[in-house]
Amino acid sequence: MTDLFDVSGKTALVTGGSRGIGLMIADGLVRAGAHVIVSSRKTADIEAAGEQLGALGDCHAIPGDISTVEGAQALAAATRARFSSLDILVNNAGAVWGAPLEDFPAVGWQKVMSTNVEGIFNLTVALLPELRAAAEVEDPARVINIGSIDGLRTPSVPNYSYSASKAAVHMLTRHLAHELAAEHITVNAIAPGPFESRMMAWALENPDRRAAVEREVPLGRIGRGDDVAGLTMFLASRAGAYMTGTVIPLDGGITGCSSPGAVTDQSVPLT
C-alpha cells in the first residue's frame, strides 16, 4: 500500500505551472519526488516558480506558449531535450474571457479556444513519442487535462467561450482516451470548482464575495493545494492506472450535491 500512490522518479510536464492550480499540482509532484518541468507563457513568472519549486526537489522551468501550433511544438521539443520519456503530462494552461453577450468579441473566442482546446490537443500530439516511450501495461503513461465545473454546468457569469472550451476539454479527454488506451496511455480530466487562483481573485479577495462562494459549496470551503495535488497523484500513480476517459469534479460537492439550478460564481466575469 505504501507504493500505491508513489510517483517518485516519474517525469512530468505541468503547463500553466507558474501560479494557481498548475503551481499547486507541480508543488505536489515535486514534493513527492517526481522530476518536473513547469511551463507558462511569461518567462519571469515561470522562472520564479521554477526557482521556488527547485528548492523542494527536481524542477526546471521552460517558458512556452501553447496557444499556437508552433508554440506547442517548441515546448514539446524543449521537454524532449530534457526527458527521453514522459510519464505524466498535465495540461493545465488556460485562458478566460468574459463580456456581455452582445458585446462578446471574436478575440475572446480565438484566445480562449486556441489555448484551452487546441493547445491541449497540439501539445499532447507533439509529446506522443515521449508518452509512448514511458507507457507500460501495468504502469501507463498519463495525460491529465484540467477542465472546469463550468464545462459541466451553466455558469452565472458571461464567460461563454470559457465554459464552451472546458466542455470541449472534457469531450476531447474522452476521445483521446479512446484512441490511446491500446497504447497504454491513459487520459483523464479534473474539473475544479473554486480554488485560490488569479482567475478567482476577483471573488476570493473580497470577504463578502468569498463568503458567498463558500456558502454555495456543500463542503463549505474553497479548494486547497493538497486537494488538487492529491487527485493528480492518484491519477498519476499505480492507484489510478486502471482509469481512463473520466472527468472528475473536484468542487466540494457543487455539481454532485447542489440543488437543481444552483450556480456558483467561480469564474472571472471580465478579462
Alpha-carbon distance values, 134 to 29, 72, 255 (Å): 17, 20, 34
Burial profile 115-149: b = 16 or more Cβ within 10 angstroms, e = fewer = bbbbbbbbbbebbbebbeebbeeeebbbbbbbbbb
Return the active site residues. Answer: 162
What is the C-alpha to C-alpha distance for residues 172 and 256, in angstroms, rounded to an integer?
22
Q: What is the pLDDT of residues 95-131, one digit of tens each?
A: 999 999 999 999 999 999 999 999 999 999 999 999 9
DSSP secondary-structure letter at 66? T
Grid cell digits, residue 22: 498548475
Three-state secondary structure call for residue 30: helix
Q: 266 or 80, which is more confident? A: 80
Nearby residues of 5 by Cβ (< 8 Å), 6 or more positions away? 233, 234, 237, 238, 239
Cα torsion 15, 17, 21, 27 to 10°: value is: 120
Residue 259, burial from CB neighbour count under 10 angstroms (0-12, 13-18, 19+)? exposed
What pTM was computed for the model?
A: 0.93
In this prediction, what percent of the chain has a pLDDT beyond 70?
95
* CA gap 204, 223 in Å, rounded: 11
C-alpha cell recorded at residue 57: 526537489
Distance separating alpha carbons of residues 23 and 117, to the nearest angstrom: 20
| Predicted pLDDT at 107 | 97
Amino acid (1-letter code) at residue 96: V
Count Cα atoms within 13 angstroms, Cβ side, for 58.
14
Task: Say yes or no to pLDDT of 72 above 80.
Answer: yes
